[in-house]
Amino acid sequence: MTIYVDADACPVKAEAERVATRHRTPLVLVCNGGIRAPENPLVRVVYVDQGLDVADRWIAGEAGPGDVVVTADIPLAADCIAAGALVLKHDGEVLSERNIANALASRNLMTELRSADPLGTGGGGRPFSKADRARFAQALDRVLTRGR
């Protein structure tokens, strides 16, 4: 079991490292750069080339049955689920075969709505909170406990 984190814009890298360390589970942070490798021997940073979806393609190619992927990228989540991995969003929501089709449909709808509002007057998402961090850490802990 390995935890793969889509790390470029991930707000829960520290929480993922703490939980992975407690469970003695390898953690791979995948990014285009800008992240310094921690001294933790369980954590590895993989630097991929700049470009659209390069990190996503790397993660999708590596993740498989028994692995956990941390991402908010719904198409990446779908690819990882198809490969047998479990996917957690940053707020702790588990994406699976049961709910990924709805998540993809919602993502596509939101993309269309944003493109229909070229001035961006529709507002943004809510801020990421301490409660979101706690939910993520608890969800990752539960997943790793069940996976053992």
In the predicted model, residues of the chain with pLDDT beneath 50 are: none
DSSP string, 42-59: TEEEEE--SSTTHHHHHH
Give pTM, 2 decimals: 0.86
120 three-class SS: coil
97-130: pLDDT as tens digits:
887 767 776 666 666 666 666 666 555 667 888 9
DSSP 109: H
CA dihedral of residues 102, 108, 114, 118 (deg, nearest 10): -170
- Hey, what domains does the chain have and what are their CATH numbers? 3-121+129-147 (3.40.50)
